[in-house]
Structure formats: structure tokens, C-alpha cells
Chains A and B, each alone.
Chain A
Amino acid sequence: MNAERSYHNEQKRNRAILLSLLLLLLMLSLLFLFAGRYPKGGFSFPKDLSQNVMMKNIMLNIRLPRILLALIAGAILSAAGFTFQMLFSNPLVEPGFLGVSQGSAFGAALVIVVGNYNSALVQVSATFFGLLALGASYFLAKKFRFGGWLLRLVLSGIAVSAIFSSALGVVKLVAEPTKDLQDITFWMMGGLWNSNWKQILTVMPIVLVCLAILFSYRWRMNLLSLQEKSAYSVGLNPRLDRTVLLVVATVGTTLTISLTGLIGWVGLIMPHLARKLFGSDSKVALPGSMVMGSLFLLLCDTVGRTLLPTEIPIGLLTSFIGAVIFIVILSLKHQEGKA
């Protein structure tokens, strides 16, 4: 009975933490609307926004869509990483696992090299090739005659990643070095500077639907971390559920990175931190992971656009901070092991 009570208390505690994080996210989002390089670096709180047309314009048409993009992108990258980790029953995987990142990178680079491109075309191409990579991984996994379904998916993902990676190398080799190669490199470092209302209103609704679907699976996802036969025995159709979630997580990720470029480590690290904070039950850890992903990307983007006179690509920050967190987590685990 004490255990039951303590389970309910734990649930209440987790809900309270989640709510606090959401409030923090909301407050920081509002606060960061006032952070930037106009009219001068740092925070500026104009007395009368209606009088300052330029400031109003920057806040509503540049910073607000950018902040919204950071929130949604952080949530989907983190949620997709969490989903992949549960589906593959492996805490060290993320969406790049099925060749999605390399496929998108190739798609973006290809359009950049062909020339006369605009950002919409880069997005379409990155999305198309990201999904193509997913489809190719899935198709190959069906064709492979070795091991179980998950192992076959992993192996085909590795093969597809390698193919797109080498194709990307070829594209970079032929890219015009003074402009195209720089554009490709910049895209691969990630950034939210391209964000605008048009993108938010066209692409992000689909990403929000993906987030809603993943959220609706939040408890059921626990069961999908079991062996397939066990998941089946408790009433699931594990292959169908896994396929739906893989597609949803990948579509959300691909659409997002088509706007933002490659942003690494969010999908790997945030689910880890969420599990540390909320426990392994995905009912709370998944929403927790979404909120923490949003918070992480919002902070990284704000630092990236305000710290130095020139913008720091967000992918560099997420990779650096993510890797540091990763090292700390592993070191702590090591110490626990020794104790």
C-alpha cells in the first residue's frame, strides 16, 4: 500500500516538475523576445512598443517566429529521439539512425550545388531525401535475410547512411568553393536565422500533428520497448505501432531539419536528461523530453544569436553542450558503478 501511495506521489511530483518547466519555458520565451542585437546587444525593453515600429517589427516578424521554431524544433527533435530510443530499446539511438539526417543533408546540398536555389527548394529537397532514406532503410530491412526486424532496420540504416554520406562527399567535392560549399557547410551546422511566419504556418502545423501523435502514444511507448512477442502478448500490434511511430518521428524530424539544417545531439541527450529527472516511464518522460528539448534549443538559439556580434550556428552549440552533458552523464554512471 505504501508503494501505491508513493507511486501516486511520484506521479504528482513529476506533474509538478513538468508544469514548472512549462512555465519556465513560457517565461523565457517571452523574455527572449526582448533579447537580440537591436537596438543594442543584450536585452532591451522599449517603453512604448507601439511607438517603435522597427522594434515591434523585429519582435513580431523576426524574433517571435524564430522562438516558435526553436520551441517546436526542440520538442520534435527530442521527442523523435525519445521515440527511437524506446522503439529500438536502446538509449543511444536517435533519428539519424535510419539515414534520415544524411539523406536530408544530401538533398539540401544537391539543390545548393545545382544553383539558382531558394530556401523553399532546399527544404523540399531535404525533406524528400530524408524520407527517401527512411523508405530505403525500411525497404532494405524487409529484403535482408538476417536477424530480427529491429536488427535488420539498424543494419539497413547504417548502409543507407553510408551511401548518402558518400554521395554528400561527392556533392561537396564538386561544389563551387567560394559560395556553394560555404552554404552547404552552414546548412550542416544548423541555424534558425531563416525562420519566418510563412514557414511556421506551412511546415510547422504538420510537425505539430507529429508531436500530437507521439504525445498520444506516451504510455503505450513503454510497451514498445519490450521484446516484440511480449508487446504482442499484452494486446499490441507491435510491428504496426512501431512502423507508425517511426514514420511519424522521421517525418517530424525531416520537416524540421529541412528548415533548420542539421541540429545534432538534441534527440540523444534530452531524452536521457528527461529520464534522469522523471524516471523511465514514458508517460511523463516523453512530455518531459519535449519540454526540455524546447528549453534547450531556445537557450542555445538565444545564446547563439546574442553572445557574439556574429551568429554562432546552433548546431555547433547543441553539439558542444550535448557532448559535455553526455560525458558528465557517463562519468556519473561510472561513479555509480564503482560505488
Chain B
Amino acid sequence: MTALKVDNLSYTYPTGTKALCNITLDIQEQSTVALLGSNGAGKSTLMDLLLGWKPSANILLFDKPLKEYGRKELGRFIALVPQSEHYNFSFTLLEYTLFGRAPYLAEMGSPSDEDVHLAYEALETVGLASYAHRSVTTLSGGESQLVLIARAIAQQSKVLLLDEPTSSLDPANRRKVIDILQALHAQGKTIIFTTHDAPFAYELATHVAMLKKGSLLCFGTKERVVTSEMLTTLYETDMTVCSVGGRTLIY
């Protein structure tokens, strides 16, 4: 089934800057899609449109126009992992992860014991359960990314949107994030992430959409579209994709 259908989508900022031009994508349920491109290619704008943060009439979520979803209903379908979050209050990790349960609560309600349990399980999934009572203000960059993912897991949505999930992480934390996202993919989640890192996109994604200056260069399975020729066109610099000992190297 199609999770997200983007049909001839264009977007121009109120300032007049054209950000996206005639994008068409058909994202299948349970696929992992990388939105790959250089800085300023329009990846984050497309992400905002898929989230419903910027309005668009050209996006269907599970065959229903995105704009017809209620706020909470949409929160139960799509979760966001932002690139970063500023922590100005000392919430514990468990309290912070509980925020992901908001779409399931009554208008003025607060989390139930079951919600607490689900938030704790989400922290277990990302390996931070033993720090559940630590303050989010004490987290390192890697842990901070993991707790954002935990919040999205607690949201139990079908689709996960991640904005540059590993751009500021060291190799060990990057590995952790990849492992967690692969496990979520195996559980049937539809994952869409932005990145400018082609090797990372190839490692994690099943499908890759290449964006250049607001236009879609190509979209398809990673084996089909991630080629030396396409990457060279995308980044306007020589890129090589080769296979060594059964592993694909991109440089």
C-alpha cells in the first residue's frame, strides 16, 4: 500500500523563493526512503510538507489528503525526529519521551500508567532505559538524538520522518542510530529521512530520492538510482560507487 503519495508538488516561500518544483513520489508502506541532496536542495522543505507543517493539497497519506487529517489523528500517523531540540527545562528522559504519547490523550488529559509503560519501552528500544531519570539537559549529542527517536517511537506512528538523523554524530552513535532505524524498519515502520551523506543513505534506505535545486533528479530503489553517474550529477563533483567484496563503497 502507498503510505505517502506526492503528486506534482511545488512550493514557493512567502518571500518568493521557489523551494520545490513538480515533485512526484510514491512512497510505499514499510519502505525506508532517503531524501538525498546537497544543502539547499529542498529536502527540509519537502520534509515540512510531508509532516503537514507547511500546507499542501498535493500529498495523500494512506490515500487520504494530508490536510484532511485532524491534528491528533495526524500525530498518530506521522512522527518527527527533528535534527536537534533545545532543552531549557530539566525534564527527565522518561517525562520527555512521554511527550510522544500526546496524540493519544484527551484534550486536557495527562499520561496514564500504560503511556508511562510505553514510553519506558521506547527508552529501552534506544538503550537509554537505565538513564530514564536523568535530566535531558545532561545528555550528550548522541544521547540527545536517541531520546528524540525514543519520543517518536512512543508516538507509535506508522510513518517516521527524520531530519538529518546522524549529521552531528560520532561513528559509534551513528551506528546505534542506524541499527535502531533498521530494527524499526523490520517492525514495519515507513521511514523517511533527509541526508546529504550518500554512504549513509545507501546503508539505511531501501529507496532513494535525489533532490537538486528543488527538483527531483531521480527516485527508485537504491540499487537502481545510486550510481556514480547520478551522484556526480547530484553533487557536481566526481563520485564513485563500486562494489568490493560484496560491499558497496561510495566516495
Q: Could you list which residues of chain A lie within 8 angstroms of chain B, going by C-beta atoms?
A: 1, 3-4, 6-8, 86, 89-91, 216-220, 222-223, 225-227, 229-230, 232-237, 275, 279-281, 283
Contact = CB atoms under 8 A, between A and B. Distances in A.
B108 interface: yes
B155 interface: yes
A281 B95 contact: yes
Nearest to B95: A281
Interface stretch (B86-94, B165-173, B183-191): B86-94
B10 to A, nearest CB: 21
A338 to B, nearest CB: 16
A237 B71 contact: yes
Interface in B55-78: 71-76, 78
25 contacts: A4-B94, A7-B133, A86-B89, A89-B88, A219-B111, A222-B91, A223-B102, A226-B85, A227-B86, A229-B51, A229-B82, A230-B82, A232-B51, A233-B75, A233-B79, A233-B80, A233-B82, A234-B100, A234-B151, A234-B155, A235-B74, A235-B76, A235-B102, A279-B95, A281-B92
Given A235-B103, A275-B89, A3 B75 contact: no
A4 B116 contact: yes
A235 B71 contact: yes
A84 to B, nearest CB: 13
Contacts of B111: 219
Contacts of A275: 89-90
Given A217-B108, A280-B95, A236 B102 contact: yes
B88 A3 contact: no
Given A7-B132, A89-B88, A227 B82 contact: yes
Given A3-B133, A7-B132, A219-B110, A234 B103 contact: yes
A281 B116 CA distance: 14
B109 interface: yes
B129 interface: yes
B221 to A, nearest CB: 28
Contacts, number: 103
B53 interface: yes
Given A3-B132, A8-B113, A222 B78 contact: no
A229 B88 contact: no
A280 B94 CA distance: 12
Contacts of A217: 108
A281 B89 CA distance: 9
A220 B86 contact: no
A235 B72 CA distance: 4
Given A223-B99, A223-B102, A232-B71, 6 more contacts: A3-B129, A4-B117, A89-B88, A233-B51, A233-B161, A275-B90
B193 interface: no
A184 to B, nearest CB: 37
Scoring A91, A218, A219 by chain B CB atoms within 10 A of each residue's CB, the highest score goes to A219
Contacts of A236: 71, 102
B120 interface: yes
Contacts of A229: 48, 51, 53, 80, 82
Contacts of A8: 113, 116
A232 B92 CA distance: 21
Contacts of B80: 229-230, 233
B165 to A, nearest CB: 15
Scoring A219, A220, A234, A235 by chain B CB atoms within 10 A of each residue's CB, the highest score goes to A234
B23 to A, nearest CB: 20
Contacts of B103: 234-235
Contacts of A219: 105, 108-111
A279 B76 CA distance: 28
A235 B75 contact: yes
The 5 nearest A-B residue pairs measured at CB: A235-B75, A3-B132, A233-B80, A235-B103, A219-B110
B86 A222 contact: no
A90 B88 contact: yes
B131 to A, nearest CB: 9
Given A4-B120, A219-B109, A219-B110, A234 B99 contact: yes
B51 A216 contact: no
Given A222-B95, A232-B53, A234-B99, A91 B89 contact: yes
B89 A280 contact: yes
Contacts of A233: 51, 53, 75, 78-80, 82, 161
Contacts of B155: 234
Contacts of A89: 86, 88-89
Contact of B90 (A4, A226, A232, A280): A280
Interface in B112-130: 113, 116-117, 120, 123, 129-130
A219 B82 CA distance: 22
A271 B102 CA distance: 24
B95 A230 contact: no
Scoring B48, B86, B102, B113 by chain A CB atoms within 10 A of each residue's CB, the highest score goes to B102
Given A3-B132, A234-B102, A280-B95, A225 B110 contact: no
A160 B1 CA distance: 54
